[in-house]
Amino acid sequence: MHRIDKIVTNMNCFAVFDNVNTYIALWDTGSVKTVIKKRVVDELQLNHISNAVISTIINDSNNVKTYNMNMVLPNHSRFISLEVVCFDHTKPYDIIIGMDLISQGRFELFNGKLSFEIKELK
């Protein structure tokens, strides 16, 4: 049996097609929303949509900005557009993929490997 501590993948993200960057993403089933660091906002030149309040695992509330970001998921040919929140957490990941994205597809772990599929994006 495999013990999995974390699932990390590369994620291609963009606001416009001529500015696609690859970021390190942690898949986190305990996160309600997908979170990005300020560096991602700056590099992709994302436009601010609105404001929100998020709570972290230690129950502190944080005022954050939300952005619309496009992502090409691993093994998918089309992209998904998602409203994400910007929060400069201390984790070494650029993106934390939350249940707002994970719940839209089939998420499976088999022999320590991630399989995630949204049929409409294949």
Q: What is residue 26's predicted lDDT score, i.e. its pLDDT?
A: 94
Question: Which tokens is 19 given?
Answer: 């500015």
Query: Taking the CB of residue 108, how many other CB atoms lie within 10 A of it?
Result: 10
Instruction: Give the domains, in start order, of the chain with CATH numbers.
Output: 7-115 (2.40.70.10)
Mention every residue, 6+ apart, whose C-beta is less than 8 A from residue 92: 24
| 25 pLDDT more than 80 | yes
CA-wise closest residue to 92 among 39, 13, 51: 39
| 70 pLDDT more than 90 | yes
Tens digit of pLDDT for each residue in 44-62? 999 999 999 988 777 688 8
| 120 pLDDT more than 80 | no
Q: What is residue 59's predicted lDDT score, i.e. its pLDDT?
A: 67
